[in-house]
Amino acid sequence: MTAIMKAAASPSRSVTLRLLGFSTGDILQQALISAFSQVGYDAQLTSAGFGAVVTELLEPAPELPDVIAIQIDPGGLIKRDWRLSSQDAERLFEQSTETFLAALEGFSRTHRAQVLINTLPSPISPSAGFLDPFHPDGTGYLTSSFNRRLGDRAGDLNNVTIVDTDLAMADIAPTKRSDPKLWYYGRIPYSTEATRALAAAFAEAYAARESKPVKALALDLDNTLWRGIYGEDGLQGIECGDDFPGNAFKAFQNECLRLKSQGLLLTILSKNDEDVLEVFDAHPGMALRREDIVAHRINWEPKAQNVRSLADELSIGLDSFLFLDDSPHEREAMRRLAPEVRVPELPDDPAGRIDFLRNQRPLWPRRLTAEDRSRSELYVVQSKGRALRNQVASIDEYLAGLGQRLCIEPMRSATLPRIAQMHARTNQFNLTTLRLSETELASQMADEGGHRVILGRLSDQFGDHGIVICACACRTGDRAELLTFLMSCRVIGRQVEYAFLGALLKNLVASGVKEVAARCIPTQKNNPSRDFYEKAGFTLESRASKDLGSETRWLWHKDTHRLPGSDFISIETDG
């Protein structure tokens, strides 16, 4: 029988959650409610009887919850019949794994619910002795095989988050993660302490998906990136390199480089004179170089003031920054004066900072696209464009000097993750703020007759900006509606939106469309896009109320309206 339970506390947000598992989840149910409450969610939880995982994924209830949590455990998945040969047993295990993974993939590609699923933990009791990690009879072999196939299959599903069980239970001794009495008495797979740790990892994973991602690190210099104070010790006096005590600082810098390779922007906030930057060029022990830093504020002003200036320069919000500083005073000042910035407690001991940084969940990537890996370079290109703008007398002269090229193409499988990412993250230039998931976008991509998902790649004389704009259109007969229209804030003010819209309308007209409808749904963050359709020459069809901030509907007809565009952007098409 299904029971519905609610947290005693009443956090500000509510979430519905359904628990599935191959073994008993009674302890996990209560732990999940408490864990979700700790991260700010009032969890309304239902659970299915153990063993009904595949059935529920194949035939979900009509009213889906926000979250499906699937508890995976060795006892529920690895069932060895020792009368079978190793080959036959492995084949049966692969078949049961494939049945489960196929059901998981089918569910995830057709439903919006978020799925949280844990890996199998590393075994502590081998079933094949010394051969356990690499023989089909080994529990270690089967565990790694399942986890690898889970990652390969579910890693491409945007609404699936895989929780590493070993990492979730890292503070618990492996022999304490399960209790044989609980297993044989009630088929409860994990100890009470381990279950709580798993529930906390599930809750943190969901909260991380729902929160705004960190886009930039704001790094202090002295005693953070190196040991010593540049202004007092000089270039030769600071310590950073391969030997103690500078090796921990160099390892910390390498972690910053890792984060840069995964899409984080590296910035500097330092109370220093600007000649401190010579350290990046001249110190032989530095892993970071000056070109790794996309922006900096090196002066004697308050760091909270400087981080606001950095946010303006990079066109990102304060809540996109994570601030790392060895000074407790500076950390507390940032928390008080710029509370949107995330400020963790950097360990005093430099040797502990590497693992600390690796375990900062706000920095964990959810998905890595080509744009993520080259984001730092994209901002460098953007910076060169800003420099040009400061040199010219007018906006027209600036735009004419950029030499912008916009390549228009349909969304394909390779660009699907980036378009889904844009729908999830874009706020400022987002006309409808409809957050289409990767699954929904893939469905539109497959519906060639009824939907079109178009994107634009921008480049200029300074380099490639990558995919910066996209739109989804739904066609019915000779009429189409723009379901979404959104653009990266990095290129606001370059007339890219008008050039792209003109190319999109031209594409729709070529396919037989005569009339295009569009909506603008105002939010607190999309002010830069509210008058877009008016400036593009659309006709106002209706307004939801007399309030100027209410939803508006717009219309464009091929026979009576001009095609918008830009004299400063050349258009190319690909497919």
Q: Measured between alpha carbons, how far is 173 from 566 in angstroms, rounded to an integer?
A: 63
| Residue whose C-alpha is closest to residue 496's, from 562, 557, 401, 571 | 571
Fold of 216-363: Rossmann fold (3.40.50)
Q: Give all strands (DSSP E) within 374-478, no chain letters.
A: 404-410, 429-430, 451-460, 463-476
Farthest-apart Cα atoms in the chain, separation: 84
The mean pLDDT of 210-217, rounded to a whole number, is 90
For residue 535, give the H/E element and its range. Answer: helix 532-535
**Torsion, CA 38, CA 39, CA 44, CA 48, rounded to 10:** -90
| Residue whose C-alpha is closest to residue 223's, from 243, 244, 240 | 240
Domain boundaries, the chain: 5-210, 216-363, 391-573
Give pLDDT, residue 562: 95
pLDDT digits (tens, 9 = 90+) for 85-113: 999 999 999 999 999 999 999 998 888 89
What pTM, to 2 d.p., does this model score?
0.76
Give pLDDT, residue 546: 66
Instruction: Report the relative pairing of strands 479-487 and 463-476 from DSSP bridges.
Output: antiparallel
CATH of the domain spanning 391-573:
3.40.630.30
Q: Measured between alpha carbons, how far is 441 from 445 in angstroms, rounded to an integer?
A: 6
In percent, how much of the chain has pLDDT > 70? Answer: 96
The mean pLDDT of 196-219, rounded to a whole number, is 94
For residue 58, give the H/E element and its range. Answer: helix 53-58
Residue 18 phi/psi, 5-degree rounding, is -125, 130
3-state class (DSSP) for residue 13 = strand
Q: Which residue is associated with the tokens 């003010």? A: 493
172-181, 382-391, 422-431: segment of lowest average pLDDT? 382-391
Q: pLDDT at residue 155 above 90? A: no
Cβ neighbours of residue 458 closer than 8 Å, sequence gap 6 or more? 404, 405, 406, 407, 464, 465, 466, 468, 469, 491, 494, 496
Cβ atoms within 10 Å, residue 13:
12
DSSP 3-state helix, strand, coil percentages of the chain (rounded to 5)?
A: 45, 20, 35
Give pLDDT, residue 12: 67
DSSP 8-class letter at 250 = H
On the question of a common fold for 5-210 and 216-363, the answer reads: yes
Give pLDDT, residue 4: 40
pLDDT digits (tens, 9 = 90+) for 352-387: 999 999 999 899 987 777 777 777 777 777 777 766
Instruction: Report the relative pairing of strands 451-460 and 404-410 from DSSP bridges.
Output: antiparallel
3-state class (DSSP) for residue 30 = helix
DSSP 8-class letter at 496 = H
Q: Give all strands (DSSP E) within 178-316, no chain letters.
A: 216-219, 265-271, 293-299
9 pLDDT tier (thresholds 50, 70, 90): very low
Cβ atoms within 10 Å, residue 383:
14
Pair of tokens at residue 561: 């309206």
Q: Measured between alpha carbons, how far is 26 from 4 in angstroms, rounded to an integer?
A: 12
CB 484, CB 506: distance < 8 Å: no
How far CA 511 is from CA of 226, 397, 439, 475, 508, in Å, comes to 60, 36, 25, 10, 5
Pair of tokens at residue 176: 């304490």
pLDDT digits (tens, 9 = 90+) for 539-572: 999 988 766 668 999 999 999 999 999 999 999 9
In percent, how much of the chain has pLDDT > 90? Answer: 75
3-7, 141-145, 341-345, 371-375: segment of lowest average pLDDT? 3-7
85-99, 318-332, 515-529: segment of lowest average pLDDT? 515-529
130-134, 277-281, 391-395, 463-467: segment of lowest average pLDDT? 391-395
Please tell me which of 20-34, 418-432, 536-550 the model is most confident about, judged by mean pLDDT.
Answer: 20-34
The mean pLDDT of 512-541, rounded to a whole number, is 92
CATH of the domain spanning 5-210:
3.40.50.1110
Report H helices in 262-352: 278-282, 303-314, 328-337
**Any idea what the Cα angle at residue 307 is, between residues 304 and 309, rounded to 5°?**
115
Give pLDDT, residue 490: 82
11 pLDDT tier (thresholds 50, 70, 90): very low
pLDDT digits (tens, 9 = 90+) for 476-510: 999 999 999 999 988 888 999 999 999 999 999 99
CB 211, CB 39: distance < 8 Å: no
